[in-house]
Structure 1
């Protein structure tokens, strides 16, 4: 398994969905993850039964291409980091080539750069796009590289139906398979027994980057407070926009209403989902073209019994379609967002809402997701053997 974003250590706050899939695939495979090194991480370790090989691509203090925002965001914030990209790719390829022996199938997460590395290896491979790699980096050279990668993949998956059309334009007539990442809906993201929800508490969880739309949520808060004076907002997450968002809070007079919690582990998130009255997901398209690929935070919130207000963007529709407790609103419209939040904060609505956990489990629980990916990877390997 090739990845760019991966936990640096146990209970890291960096996105963990690739690791969650990897550790469940050990039921079918011996899983080796090849991912970039970061300060404080071990060069190699066994993590939940997965052998993790972290390759060096720079000196200490320079290995900053991935963490705290993702590759696309970091390149836009600091263009000098393009100098790290060649080493990032070459070193992943060298380590991956060492592991390509015997009966192997490669699963590359993100088209660029792990997908490019997979394309250069002599092994069957599957590519999974998570959103930013598909929606952003749309210049002539990146688009040509994407087509080059996907032309040789045994299969290409995307995490939502919203991504299918963009993927189809790169696949020369082939279809991308919609196969989302998962959420632990059996043990972790469950309603809290005996946990009461805080009246008026609004929750946001996610990276503090443009496509998450947190600034829209902040502008909606004064409108919410006009009708629900006791409302509060808790923001769990980190990212490059943190300082500017805090400054906007001060400008809007919300310092006593909004709490920035910072980064939190997957385990630590549960208490916030279980105690909030409503979850806000004000997603929007970023100026780079990047947008949300799926938004598993919606599933995490719903799994914990927390109703959700989300922007009506294509990726959200995979979760929101006929889902009780979901409200979709016009993107980038603070008033529409405020109306949705007030609606779900009302006592009548909250008491009437019952989550459809069976539907969530069928589509998004990790056991079902891992089984689908195992079948796909085994099929990709079989096709290559038949050749």
Structure 2
């Protein structure tokens, strides 16, 4: 979001509060936090980042298995320590993820600052299941000036949990860049790409089985798996059992720029997730000129509404490999007759492009300016 919105602000400071987890007893926690109060202000350094903004990295030392309520208060304290006890010096403060980022930003904003929060956490149900975290979230919704969900799945959960705040929860999606196009259009759906965590929720075990089924019919198929997670060893072993080690490559985690390059080097994004709040990877793939084979798991059917067949193929969430492999062959048959990726890109750019999403934020951040370009448009973000 910084790359999209920073150019329209006079200045923007980004605080990235990175949770550093360690086994610590209560005495160690107290000693570490005391040291942080002294040392953190001396260690704070800003560096240039995207869009002309300034970025500050903050390490938030965290006891292992800390619940979300205490974690939010921990981020609040350690951000305050890094700021030397002073509030964030900006008239607009925007945080990502209600807990811990939103709470830390709210508690450290200067008096009179306008505070906004964007929620996109896929683990929101676990946050709200904890009584202390739920109480903090309720207070957060009450006190902030604006609250945004990236899509209907998140907004619906929050509106159901906090009906007294439902009118306050607006929807603004994540911004996606449509500037860089692939060198040549996709001509065959042979190079599959998966981007995401190698965890059960992403449906990766079924993806491997589905790829094996399709590879048996077309041995030219290749699959690149990008990401890390608890299932990597199991998936690697299964690929070897299937005799597909020469056709399936595990790259591990890669930087965002490399991920976007990979999208422009592959033919098809396969995204069989069980649940997504938005489906940013799906939109990025279409922006890169790549067809998609994705599940109706919350976010994707919303982001691709009206252009499903132009962009690729949507399949139901099923606990089997056949739903994925059959979806692939349907898409491959239609692909030979032609999709309309250009139309899909135009529609998605109007919904999720940098300009559209930035203007939506400016109108709310700086209501005194019709164009969101008034004097004094400084902004700070506490990003989790």
TM-score by length of 1: 0.77
Distance (whole Å) between structure 2 residues aligned to residue 203 and residue 377 of structure 1: 37
How many residue pairs get aligned? The number is: 334
Distance (whole Å) between structure 2 residues aligned to residue 371 and residue 310 of structure 1: 29
Q: Which residue, out of 327, 330, 337, partners 1:343? A: 330
Q: Give the 5 Å matches for 1:23-62.
A: 24-36=5-17, 43-48=45-50, 49-58=52-61
Structure 2 counterpart of 1:108: 95
1:358 lines up with 2:349 in the alignment:
no
Give the secondary-structure state (helix, strand or coil) at the position aligned to 2:143.
Answer: coil
Distance (whole Å) between structure 1 residues aligned to residue 200 and residue 15 of structure 2: 29
Q: Go from structure 1 to structure 2 and tell me whether the alpha carbon gap of 1:34 and 1:313 turns closer, same or farther (over 3 Å shift).
A: same
Distance (whole Å) between structure 1 residues aligned to residue 306 and residue 135 of structure 2: 38
CA contact 2:176–2:354 (8 Å) conserved in 1: yes
Distance (whole Å) between structure 2 residues aligned to residue 223 and residue 380 of structure 1: 58
Give the secondary-structure state (helix, strand or coil) at the position aligned to 1:374.
Answer: helix
CA contact 1:307–1:344 (8 Å) conserved in 2: no
Structure 2 counterpart of 1:221: 211
Q: Which residue, out of 233, 244, 247, partners 1:257? A: 247
1:20 lines up with 2:8 in the alignment:
no
1:316 lines up with 2:300 in the alignment:
yes
Structure 2 counterpart of 1:373: 361
Structure 1 counterpart of 2:36: none
Give the secondary-structure state (helix, strand or coil) at the position aligned to 1:79.
Answer: coil
Report the CA distance between 1:199 and its aligned residue: 5.0
Q: Which residue, out of 149, 153, 170, partners 1:162? A: 153
Asked which structure has the greater CA Rg, the reply is 2
Report the CA distance between 1:262 and its aligned residue: 2.3
1:328 lines up with 2:314 in the alignment:
yes
Distance (whole Å) between structure 2 residues aligned to residue 380 and residue 166 of structure 1: 32
CA contact 2:198–2:232 (8 Å) conserved in 1: yes
Q: Give the 5 Å matches for 1:158-237.
A: 158-168=149-159, 169-170=161-162, 172-175=164-167, 176-186=169-179, 188=180, 190=181, 192-194=182-184, 197=187, 199-237=189-227
Q: Go from structure 1 to structure 2 and tell me whether the alpha carbon gap of 1:292 and 1:194 turns closer, same or farther (over 3 Å shift).
A: closer
Report the CA distance between 1:120 and its aligned residue: 2.0
Structure 1 counterpart of 2:33: none
Q: Deviations over 1:160-184 (max 9, x none)?
A: 1222211212351433211111111
Name the Cα RMSD after superposition: 3.0
Gaps of 5+ in 2: 21-42, 371-384
Give the secondary-structure state (helix, strand or coil) at the position aligned to 2:284.
Answer: helix
Structure 2 counterpart of 1:4: none
Report the CA distance between 1:228 and its aligned residue: 2.4
Q: Go from structure 1 to structure 2 and tell me whether the alpha carbon gap of 1:79 and 1:173 turns closer, same or farther (over 3 Å shift).
A: closer
Greater per-residue strand proportion: 2
Report the CA distance between 1:38 and its aligned residue: 8.2
Q: Deviations over 1:172-222 (max 9, x none)?
A: 143321111111102x2x2x2336556522111123233222122112122
CA contact 1:127–1:155 (8 Å) conserved in 2: yes
TM-score by length of 2: 0.77
Give the secondary-structure state (helix, strand or coil) at the position aligned to 2:260.
Answer: helix
Distance (whole Å) between structure 1 residues aligned to residue 103 and residue 218 of structure 2: 51
Q: Give the 5 Å matches for 1:56-95.
A: 56-58=59-61, 79=65, 87-95=74-82
Q: Deviations over 1:81-136 (max 9, x none)?
A: 989775433112344663534x6111010000011123324432111101325233
